[in-house]
Amino acid sequence: MFSIGKLGRAARVKVPTIRYYEQIGLLPEPDRSAGNQRLYPRTALDRLAFIRHARELGFPLDAIRDLLGLSDHPDQSCAAADAIARAQLDAVRDRIVRLKALEGELERMLDQCASGTISDCRVIEVLGDHANCAHDHDGKDLG
């Protein structure tokens, strides 16, 4: 059995994060010691490691919740799991495309700035007028 601190060190997840995951129902409530401290079975480590790894790959917690639910039914088709991963891949690709456009604009404005005064600064000028931009950065979330 693990204390919350040992579990956190084993999975490299911070203790308040573990409690947060429990609070939102991503981790089941563990048993408690006589003094009311959480005691985790070994299986909790697998589950937490799965969550951590999926987070590192950018999956939102809702998707992770679904994936964990699916992994509890090993005999079912994995189509739903694959669909979640594909949605995540699409989201990642979308972000990359938008970030590359931003990268291009930022490069351009910095290249074009002669580093004089603010009144001649190409950075300030471009930020003030999108007509100076090569791309259309639609207002969507960059997260």
Q: Rounded to an integer, what distance in angstroms lies between the CA atom of residue 63 and that of residue 90?
A: 14
**121 near Zn ion, rule: CB under 5 A:** yes
Q: Rounded to an integer, what distance in angstroms lies between the CA atom of residue 88 and that of residue 18?
A: 23
Residue in 1, 78, 89, 102 binding Zn ion, rule: CB under 5 A: 78
**82 near Zn ion, rule: CB under 5 A:** yes
Residue in 19, 42, 130, 135 binding DNA, rule: CB under 7 A: 19
Residue in 10, 15, 39, 50 binding a copy of itself, rule: CB under 8 A: 50
- Looking at beta carbons only, is 36 or 117 nearer to a copy of itself? 117
Measured N-to-C along each axis, helices 42-56 and 61-71 cross at an angle, to the nearest 10 degrees, of 140
Q: Rounded to an integer, what distance in angstroms lies between the CA atom of residue 88 and that of residue 5?
A: 31
**Structure token digits, residue 35:** 């003094």
- Looking at beta carbons only, is 36 or 77 nearer to a copy of itself? 77
Please say whether the dihedral angle defined by the alpha carbons of residues 68, 69, 71 and 72, taken in this order, is positive or negative.
Answer: positive
Q: Rounded to an integer, what distance in angstroms lies between the CA atom of residue 91 and that of residue 6?
A: 34
Contact assessment for residue 80 and residue 70, using Cβ atoms and an 8 Å cutoff: yes
**74 near a copy of itself, rule: CB under 8 A:** yes
CB of 1 to Zn ion, least distance (A): 27
**112 near a copy of itself, rule: CB under 8 A:** no
**134 near a copy of itself, rule: CB under 8 A:** no
**100 near a copy of itself, rule: CB under 8 A:** yes
Q: Rounded to an integer, what distance in angstroms lies between the CA atom of residue 64 and that of residue 142?
A: 21
**32 near a copy of itself, rule: CB under 8 A:** no
Q: Residues in the site for DNA, rule: CB under 7 A?
A: 3-6, 8, 14-17, 19-20, 32-38, 55, 60-62
